[in-house]
Amino acid sequence: MPPNVESLTRLREYPTTPLANLPTPLIRLNRLGEMLGTERLWVKMDAETGFALGGNKVRKLEYVLAPPMLEGVTCLITAGGPQSNHCRVTAAFAARHGLRCVLVTNQGPESDPTGNALLHRLFGAEIVLAGDRSERATLMESTAGELHARGETPLVVPIGASTPLGSLGYARAAVELCEQLDALDDGCSETLVFSASSSGGTLAGLILGLALMDRTDVRLSGVSADTSAEELDEICRQLAGEAAELLGTEIDPNIVPFASIDDQVGDGYGLPTSASREATELFARHAGIVLDPTYTSKAAAALIAHLRVDGARDHQRIVFLHTGGAPGLLA
């Protein structure tokens, strides 16, 4: 099938609040690739989107917090863990735009806040504690109701900004990545992309973008930070289809080669494994790249395991999508 030119045009013209420094660089990792047995290892540095220390949430919030969504809004409410990257960027957005921000987190720091928890507070966010992760959504809604009763106009930003609207940010990123891949002169006809995932918005956007461009030569591996591979796969494909509807089109998400991986979760969300610790050390010592313990270290561990078991074939290049999160390493 040819690229869906009309939908790609609508994607480019969709309202946003510009935040990110784009395009983010695509960098060849020669030393790390040599250690892992390939000369064709690359990293897409979405850790360097720039705003509020960067990461993948910046691209999503450009759409979720576009001007039409903010008319009359006085306060942003969202939720996440105590080291949430999404909460960090949302709080920074509120600070820049003169809005109040309430963050619902499922626990607070036991002592002085560090990492993202410190940044949440530096950006001026009010912290509301939930008993556990399952209570966060309900507490966001009740907090919004209380603010409404006091005459404010709150906007509830879903966890991770992983909505059909937020996914458009990574549909654009897919277009950007493919332009960079097409400019390479390395003789490769297939690209394997490894990315961390939890709430699914990043991968859903990539699926949408690749489907609109009819790029079956790019194969996605979504490395789960918490959920099962089956659940993650379902979330991503559903979000991709709903995001396509925002562009007035339909896609078959199954045409994009995509696989979910859940063998790096270990003991659970945010808990390092021996493989993720090794990945953190290898990327730091051989590429000068900082990974975080919740997401990117586990995605990198999956990439390393793939190269050690299957290697990279002669026609393949490997791309690690670095979705950011470095403050979490310092918590």
Contact criterion met (CB below 8 Å) for 49 and 169: no
Of 104, 94, 108, nearest in space to 128 by CA: 104
Does 111 score more than 70 pLDDT?
yes
Q: What is the Cβ-side half-sphere exposure of residue 273, based on CA atoms within 13 angstroms?
A: 21
> Residue 211 above 90 pLDDT?
yes
Average confidence (pLDDT) over 301-310: 97
Give me the mean pLDDT over the 121-137 stretch: 92
In this model, does residue 110 exceed pLDDT 80?
Answer: no
In the structure, what pLDDT confidence band is assigned to residue 131 with cuts at 50, 70 and 90? confident
pLDDT class for 217, splitting at 50, 70, 90? very high
Residue 257, both tokens: 């080669």
- Which is it for strands 41-45 and 75-80: parallel, antiparallel or unpaired? unpaired
d(CA 257, CA 57): 24
Percent of the chain surpassing pLDDT 70: 99
pLDDT tens profile 2-18: 889 999 999 999 999 99
> Does the structure show a pLDDT above 90 at 215?
yes
Backbone torsion region of residue 248, taken as left when φ is above 0, otherwise alpha when ψ lies between -120 and 50, otherwise beta:
left
Architecture of domain 5-56+162-330: 3-Layer(aba) Sandwich (3.40)
pLDDT at 133: 83
pLDDT at 228 over 90: yes
- 25 pLDDT tier (thresholds 50, 70, 90): very high
* Stretch(es) of the chain classified as CATH 3.40.50.1100: 5-56+162-330, 66-156
Active-site residue list: 84
**Residue 327 scores a pLDDT above 80:** yes
Percent of the chain at pLDDT > 90 equals: 92
pLDDT in tens, 170-190: 999 999 999 999 999 899 999
**The pLDDT value given to residue 331:** 82
* Each residue's pLDDT tens digit, 78-104: 999 999 999 999 999 999 999 999 999
Instruction: Give the global pTM.
Output: 0.96
- Let me know if domain 66-156 sits in CATH 3.40.50.1100: yes
Counted residue by residue, the chain has a size of 331
Per-position b or e across 116-134, b if 16+ CB within 10 A of its CB: bbbbbeebebebbebeebe
Check whether 108 has a pLDDT greater than 90: no
The token pair that represents 311 in the structure block: 């290697």
